[in-house]
Amino acid sequence: MKTIYFDKDIPRILATKGVVSVSKKIKKANKLLYTNLSAVKYAKDIPDPPLPADNWVRVRNIACGLCGTDMSFFRATTGTDSAFEPIPASKKTYLGHENVGRVVEVGKAVTDFKVGDRVGIRAYMSGCDNKDLPRCRYCQEGNYNLCLNYGAKPRFDLEWVGAGWGDTFIAPQQQLYRIYDELSDEQATMIEPACVSIHAVLRDPPRKGEKILVMGCGTIGLGVVQAIKVVQPETEVWILERVKTKIDFAMRLGADHVLKGDILQAASDACGGSEVYQGMSKKNRYFFGGFDRVYDCIGGDWANTTACRLLAPRGVMMKIGHHMCPIRYDESPVWWQELTLVGVDAHGMEEWEGRKLYTFDLVQEWIRDGKYSVDGFVTNHFKLDDYKAAMELALRNPPDVVKIVIDCQ
């Protein structure tokens, strides 16, 4: 077994944080992230762990996408004063959840899969399904992203489990989902990120006639643009993005306009808002009458403050982008303009056209039926042994990169 994981080694984590904090001033400091200093480790030649129970399966990975969450572990960005910090966590966190693999072994009690089935990881977060615990009420209804047992001890204390960034891994069957035969392996690596985008739009569906802004057109933002037009085509969608290749991609996926020039003035002009008022600081500006809805796919201090200031009274801020650490932002517009903040966490159970189904099933239907396209998203492939080069490319984030995929075979 080969697997890439985050080692909860406090000295290494603190050292990584130190490197990241100085890397903006000292560019060469980033090179230290690729040495043994890193808390992200690559374990090779591990004996394949036995299935711990009859409801578990073994999966041989084919490929797996690189996600911003993987990079958060690589850069150790989780804050020591964030809500994540007090929660008990395992010594190892395995990287990779945008995967496609094939079942190579099943326990006697497995009913959902058979050897040869293509599968992916659905419940990646540390809840009932991947801990193999009796399901809490949220997991029972399919919203594993809201699990009440995030901090509970797993059923088994296993030294090695693995995930998408490895040659194989083991998992309880309820943690996985079946990949449709009609989808290619490359399309399958895009199912999970598409789930995030589509869940974000269905979490609080846009309404007919709304003027909407999508901030940031990376993988998730591009998916949001497309999903908005599937869910409610009678909307007008602006994007906030500087990279031309991503602007062009977003326009092909259904965006109507690009927010150009001065952001606040452009937003006011687009929405028929007031003049833009100037405070004592040149950076402190505000206007009235912005967008009905803003999807923040960036996260952080600037994005949160800006998103709130670009919303119309009683507008809706869809909170997708995050940095896994506390931030500072101006909350004045939230209470002053009675804004609604809607949190978005991964995926779960959706309601669509009178049905309730997992996001993963809905997304696969949309891709299969041509409603939602993942063509052109995957721009780069790396071998598993070259994962550091993949992460280096993700950190540089050149204009032509959208989704990076690790080939695991």
- Please tell me whether residue 152 adopts helix, strand or coil conformation: coil
Topology of domain 195-343, per CATH? Rossmann fold (3.40.50)
Question: What integer pLDDT is reported at residue 322 of this predicted model?
Answer: 86
pLDDT of residue 182: 98
Which residues are within 8 A (CB) of 136 and not within 5 positions of it... i.e. 6 or more apart? 127, 128, 147, 148, 149
Q: Which residues contact 307 (CB under 8 A, 6 or more apart)?
A: 215, 294, 296, 317
> From CA 293, how far away is CA 186, in angstroms rounded?
32
Closest residue by Cα to residue 377 from 167, 175, 224: 224
Closest CA to 27 of 303, 398, 392: 392
The dihedral region occupied by 256, where left means phi > 0, alpha psi between -120 and 50, and beta the remainder, is: alpha
CA atoms of 62 and 70, how far apart (whole Å): 18
Q: What is the pLDDT of residue 15?
A: 65
CA distance 75 to 180: 34
Chain centroid to Cα 197, Å, comes to 8
- Residues of the chain short of pLDDT 70, as ranges, are 9-35, 75-79
**β partners of residue 341:** 317
Residue 191: per-residue pLDDT = 98
* Of 174, 173, 129, 133, the residue nearest 153 (C-alpha): 133
Q: What is the pLDDT of residue 77?
A: 66
Q: How far is CA 9 from CA 15, 38, 125, 309, 402, in A?
A: 10, 10, 20, 40, 31
* Both tokens assigned to 328: 């500072």
Which CATH number does 3-190+374-407 carry?
3.90.180.10
- Domain spans in the chain, listed from the N-terminal domain onward: 3-190+374-407, 195-343
Please tell me the total number of residues recorded for the chain in this structure: 409
Output the pLDDT for position 137: 98
pTM: 0.94
Which among 259, 262, 256, 284 is positioned nearest to 270, based on CA atoms?
259
| Secondary element (H or E) of residue 92 | strand 92-94
